Amino acid sequence: MSTKIYTGFKLNTDNINDVQILVREFRVWAEKESEKLLDAYCERVKPNGWTQWCERRENIKRTGLRDPFVDTQFQIVVFPNEDGMLGMVFTEQKKWVNKWMRFSCRRNKMSKTSEKLKVQPYGYWNNSDPLDGMTDEEWELRGKEWDAVLKCEIPAMDGFTIDVTSPNGPLPKAWRDEIEAERKQVAENLARKQARLAATAQ
């Protein structure tokens, strides 16, 4: 049976809490990239960029056809393993895959001595030559690791699926700006209220 896991990766942890830390840190970058993709699309397709964006995304759901110009989904499936965790990436954005494959962050970002959590490429395939720099024995061992965690044809039936980016996609810039303005207004109102309370207590 042919095995092709081109976006496979390995984590240097077997703790699901650590996986959440990695994902949350990476999500900050990935969501910004999603917004950039949307903003660039709307800039090119005026004046109905947002409408066409939504129509093309809906077409992806309806037909299952690929459309990397509007598809901002970034999903991972992780599999518990004896030595760390194995995982697979599902996205149409190759740049994001490359970023994830060399991503790392500290378990406790408030501590410079905290252990680093790391993602490393860990793909495997048996339909062509092994990865450069690996012996046949090392490649075979990697294949056995994947065989041990993949028992079903559908990865999500064996592992734990995490949506790194929102399945609904990013919001248009005008909406984001409005939300940010409201947040700032709430923060300013709260600061003024706290200042009045502090002055009254003196």
What residue type is assigned to position 103 of the chain?
A: F
Task: Write out pLDDT tens, residues 184-202.
Answer: 999 999 999 998 888 887 7
Instruction: Kindly tell me if the per-residue pLDDT of 124 is higher than 90.
Output: yes
pLDDT tens digits, one per residue of 3-55: 899 999 999 999 999 999 999 999 999 999 999 999 999 999 989 999 999 99
CA distance 5 to 89: 9
7-to-38, 135, 174, 187 alpha-carbon distances in Å: 24, 20, 35, 42
Question: In angstroms, rounded to a whole number, what is the distance separating the alpha carbons of residues 61 and 18?
Answer: 31
Q: Is the pLDDT of residue 113 over 80?
A: no
- Which run of H or E residues covers position 74? strand 74-80
Q: What is the mean pLDDT of residues 55-72?
A: 96
Q: Which residue has the tokens 């740049």?
A: 95
- Residue 85 pairs with which residues in a beta bridge? 11, 80
Q: Report d(CA 168, CA 73) in Å as an integer.
A: 8
Question: Model confidence over 134-172: pLDDT tens digits?
Answer: 999 999 999 999 999 999 989 999 999 999 999 999 999
Query: For residue 1, what pLDDT is reported?
Result: 67
CA-CA-CA-CA torsion sign (139, 152, 100, 93): positive
Give residue 139's pLDDT. Answer: 95
What is the pLDDT at residue 111?
77
> What pLDDT score does 142 carry?
94
Q: Torsion-angle region of residue 29: left (phi > 0), alpha (psi -120 to 50) or beta?
A: alpha
What integer is the mean pLDDT of 82-101?
Answer: 95
